[in-house]
């Protein structure tokens, strides 16, 4: 079975900082990797699909990259409204989510 | 407006059953795979299962943690998705979301539309 390792589990950064989250798959998943944002008490929201494609309506400060086993999610300039938990999700076979990264403001 | 609305959550005793529903609107429901995803209190997201579309014979898949206890079905004439949960355990306590899958590739795709979630509490 594929395992997804997402890191860090939490981070604290200042407004305007560049924030990077990584997701590593235990085997090659090509570009079958999505990223979601979840705010407290809300459903997740799709931000990035197929590793690097920005979902319609999502601000351009969010980006994704990678293929194979190593993937990166970046917020180029952290904004107060970006406080949330972020999840990666692979779909090479059946869906599997990473453990999540809680992003807080320093 | 594209929308998914879950219902049917509540409190149930261990060993009991519950049926969740998800009403879809604003898109061609029958074209899409549909999944259930859950989130235990304070925990991360866990995929529960999938029903594929008619073109893929309405086949279903389940996470190992629920296989044999949960059954996913759909009624395309009613634009509705269902999750029948039997032999419930305390560890099934979670918010349950239905979600639309973007593609009909073998592994599916992304979850681009989510419901608001319905809480299931399994406790005596």
Per-residue pLDDT of A2-46, as tens digits, reads 999 999 999 999 999 999 999 999 999 999 999 999 999 999 999
Between chains, do B107 and A96 touch, taking CB under 8 Å as contact? no
Judged against a pLDDT cut of 90, whether residue A86 lies above it is answered with: yes
Each residue's pLDDT tens digit, B44-75: 999 999 999 999 999 999 999 999 999 999 99
Cα distances from A55 to residues A23, A52, B1, B88, in angstroms, run: 19, 9, 17, 36
What CA–CA distance (Å, rounded) separates B63 from B103?
20
Of A49, A93, A95, the CB nearest to B35: A95
- The share of chain B scoring above pLDDT 70, in percent, equals 100
CB–CB of B72/B50 below 8 Å? yes
Alpha carbons B50 and B58: distance in angstroms, whole number = 9
Distance from CA of A96 to the nearest CA of B (A): 6
Cβ separation A45–B47 shorter than 8 A: no
Q: Give A32's contacts in chain B (Cβ within 8 Å).
A: 107
pLDDT at B103: 83
Q: Which residues of B touch A95 (CB under 8 A)?
A: 35, 37, 47, 50, 107-108, 111
Cβ-nearest to A91 among B97, B107, B112: B107
Burial environment of residue A1 by CB neighbours within 10 A (0 to 12, 13 to 18, 19 or more): exposed
Q: Do A95 and B108 touch (CB under 8 A)?
A: yes
Cα distance between residue B24 and residue B115, in whole Å:
9
**pLDDT of amino acid A93:** 84
Instruction: Report the pLDDT value the prediction gives residue B108, as an integer from 0 to 100.
Output: 82
| B43 CA: distance to closest CA in chain A (Å) | 9
pLDDT (average), residues B78-95:
98
């Amino acid at each position: 079975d594929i395992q997804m390792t997402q890191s860090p589990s939490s981070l604290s950064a200042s407004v305007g900082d560049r924030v990077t989250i990584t997701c590593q798959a235990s085997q090659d998943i090509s570009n079958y990797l999505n990223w979601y944002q979840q705010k407290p008490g809300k459903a997740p929201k799709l931000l990035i699909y197929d590793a690097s494609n920005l979902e319609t309506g999502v601000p351009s400060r969010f980006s994704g990259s990678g293929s194979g086993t190593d993937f990166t999610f970046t917020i180029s300039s952290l904004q107060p409204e970006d406080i949330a938990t972020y999840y990666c999700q692979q779909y090479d076979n059946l869906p599997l989510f990473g453990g999540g990264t809680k992003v807080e403001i320093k | 407006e594209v929308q998914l609305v879950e219902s049917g959550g509540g409190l149930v005793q261990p060993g009991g059953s519950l049926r969740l529903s998800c009403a879809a609107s604003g898109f061609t429901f029958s074209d899409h795979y549909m999944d259930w995803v859950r989130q235990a209190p304070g925990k991360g997201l866990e995929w529960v299962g999938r029903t594929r579309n008619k073109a893929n014979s309405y086949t279903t898949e389940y996470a190992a943690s629920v296989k044999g206890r949960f059954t996913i079905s759909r009624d395309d004439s009613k634009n509705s998705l269902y999750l029948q949960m039997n032999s419930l355990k305390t560890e099934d306590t979670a918010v349950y979301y239905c979600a639309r899958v973007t593609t009909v590739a073998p592994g599916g795709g992304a979850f681009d539309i989510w419901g608001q979630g319905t809480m299931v509490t399994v406790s005596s």
